[in-house]
């Protein structure tokens, strides 16, 4: 009997912890009316500061036009997006003026954003762009 009680308490504790650590405060409205500055990107073996030595990428989402715009770290960025629930995908990037960019971060950003298929906004207000539920890019809110 003692083992069953211990097992029950353990399962209950694990269930409670998993629910609180995975808490997601995603509301579609939170995505709009702000600028999101990149603070983490998965994949490259180069330090984040080395990828973006001069300027960090940022995004803005326009609800009316369904366009994401901003900067990919050096050159401007603009692409249509599709949002359904937590599913988020980006279309082909529009034309921009191309100038040489130090660090190689712009290409990393553009390649990664094409792979994104979902998003979440965590309890700290950070925007996570996901690939199959794995955070690939994390952005913080900024006032621009």
3-state per-residue secondary structure call for 20-79: HHCCECCCHHHHCCCEEEEEEECCCCCCHHHHCCCCCCEEEEECCCCEEEEECCCCEEEE
Per-residue pLDDT, 36: 96
Strand order in the sheet with 87-90: 87-90, 76-84, 67-71, 58-62, 35-41, 134-142, 127-131, 118-121
Query: Rounded CA gap, 109 and 41, in Å?
Result: 8
**Looking at residue 116, what DSSP letter applies?**
-
Structure tokens at 106: 């712009």
Q: Are residues 37 and 138 in contact, defined by beta-carbon separation less than 8 angstroms?
A: no
The predicted model scores a pTM of: 0.75
Given phi > 0 = left and psi -120 to 50 = alpha, else beta, which region is 108?
Answer: alpha
Q: Are residues 88 and 94 in contact, defined by beta-carbon separation less than 8 angstroms?
A: no
- Digit-by-digit pLDDT tens for the chain (144 residues) are 665 554 454 555 555 444 444 444 445 678 998 999 999 999 877 888 888 888 899 999 999 999 999 999 888 999 999 999 999 999 988 766 566 777 778 889 999 999 999 999 999 999 999 999 999 999 999 975
Per-residue pLDDT, 112: 94
Query: Rounded CA gap, 60 and 79, in Å?
Result: 11
């Amino acid at each position: 009997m003692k083992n069953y009680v211990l097992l029950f308490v353990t399962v209950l504790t694990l269930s409670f912890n998993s629910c609180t650590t995975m808490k997601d405060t995603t509301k579609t409205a939170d995505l709009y009316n702000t600028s999101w500055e990149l603070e983490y990107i998965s994949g490259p073996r180069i330090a984040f500061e080395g990828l973006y030595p001069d300027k960090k990428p940022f995004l803005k989402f326009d609800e009316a036009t369904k366009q994401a715009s901003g900067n990919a770290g050096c050159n401007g960025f603009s692409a249509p997006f599709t949002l359904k629930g937590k599913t988020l995908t980006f279309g082909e990037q529009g034309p921009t003026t191309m100038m040489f960019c130090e660090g190689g971060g712009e290409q990393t950003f553009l390649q990664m954003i094409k792979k994104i298929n979902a998003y979440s906004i965590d309890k700290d207000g950070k925007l996570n762009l996901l690939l199959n539920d794995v955070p690939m890019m994390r952005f913080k809110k900024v006032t621009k």
